[in-house]
Amino acid sequence: MAIILDHFKSDGIDIAYRVEGPEEGSARNDVPFLLIHGFASTGPTNWVNPSWTKTLINAGYRTICIDNRGHGDSDKLYDPQMYSAPLMALDAVRLLDYLGIEQAYVMGYSMGARITAFLLHQDQTRVKAAIFSGMGYNMVRGLGGSAPIAAAFEADSMEDVTNDTARSFRAFAQSIGGDLKALAACLRGPRLSVTKEMLATINTPTLIAVGTKDGIAGSPEKLQELIPGSKVLHIPGRDHMKAVGDPVFKRGVLAFLEEL
């Protein structure tokens, strides 16, 4: 089994990625899995550490973890205009192009789910199936409260942060070595909406996976109503932070793929 840790240029921006799993041509499924992490996380933190890559590899898939711009080992940018979701979706498409991959399964978590939605909007033919995880109807309605988190990342020290949610995000980012100024710029970037009209055009098989105690994602059922033929997976008893590695989540995704 090969593991490739490398970088490529996406319109001049250095993007890190990790490819792991059976050699091309030897996998049981010749369509690989592109995994797009959430805000302030990284490919390894979101997907490798919770054993997602191991789960998918054991099921016969090659996995591709991207570090979104401003995150992990990718270039850190400090201009908020460089962090729109469509631009980050283009990074993912260009990675597929760079690797010579015509089509992939795509799973995004939280911010990664929004990026996946824009990827679908740009070119659905590149996506064999999509999993929106950690994000329900708030993908459309939008998330409030990002300004205090951005301010927390811009603060000189944790002692200057009084908002509990903002403190938890900053603590997480610091624990994995995130660049706080770049992450603040990401939060202050263009908040382009995923529209109902965009979602109505999706004809790719889509699964919406959300923890039943997730107070950030919004209703998965309300999002399901907007995406033709989509399915919902409830992750029992899990909030936004703890749903990622849950066994129910993993089994549900594999069952969804088996039904395609």
Domain that residue 111 falls in: 2-142+192-258
Question: How many domains, the chain?
Answer: 1
Distance of CA 152 to the CA centre of its chain: 22
According to DSSP, the residues that pair with 133 across neighbouring strands are 109, 209
Residue-wise pLDDT for 78-130, tens only, equals 999 999 999 999 999 999 999 999 999 999 999 999 999 999 999 999 999 99
According to DSSP, the residues that pair with 127 across neighbouring strands are 104
Which pairing describes strands 33-36 and 63-66: parallel, antiparallel, or unpaired?
Answer: parallel
Asked whether residue 157 is assigned to any structural domain, the reply reads: no
Q: Is the pLDDT assigned to residue 29 strictly greater than 80?
A: no
Beta strands in 28-167 (DSSP E): 33-36, 63-66, 104-109, 127-133
Residues 190-201, mean pLDDT to the nearest whole number: 94
Residue 59 parent element (H or E): none
The CATH number of the domain holding residue 253 is 3.40.50.1820
Scanning 132-195, the segments in alpha helix (DSSP H) are 138-141, 146-154, 164-175, 180-187
What gap in Å lies between CA 213 and CA 200, rounded to an integer? 27
Beta strands in 100-161 (DSSP E): 104-109, 127-133
Q: What is the DSSP letter of 48?
A: I
What gap in Å lies between CA 130 and CA 113, rounded to an integer? 9
Asked whether residue 46 is assigned to any structural domain, the reply reads: yes
Residue-wise pLDDT for 123-167, tens only, equals 999 999 999 999 999 999 987 778 999 999 999 999 999 999 899
| Tokens of residue 154, six digits | 């811009």
What's the number of CA atoms in the CB half-sphere (13 Å) around residue 70?
A: 27
| Tokens of residue 208, six digits | 């919406």
CB of 206 within 8 A of CB of 90?
Answer: no
Give the pTM: 0.97
| Tokens of residue 166, six digits | 């903002």
Asked whether residue 181 is assigned to any structural domain, the reply reads: no
Phi and psi at 132, nearest 5°, equal -90, 110
Asked whether residue 22 is assigned to any structural domain, the reply reads: yes
What's the pLDDT score for residue 2? 80
Residue-wise pLDDT for 196-247, tens only, equals 999 999 999 999 999 999 999 999 999 999 999 999 999 999 999 999 999 9
Which among 130, 129, 137, 102 has a CA at the least distance from the CA of 116?
Answer: 130
Asked whether residue 184 is assigned to any structural domain, the reply reads: no
Asked whether residue 169 is assigned to any structural domain, the reply reads: no
Asked whether residue 75 is assigned to any structural domain, the reply reads: yes
Asked whether residue 153 is assigned to any structural domain, the reply reads: no
Q: Is the pLDDT assigned to residue 61 strictly greater than 70?
A: yes
Residue 156 has a CB neighbour count (10 Å cut-off) of 7
What gap in Å lies between CA 14 and CA 74, rounded to an integer? 6
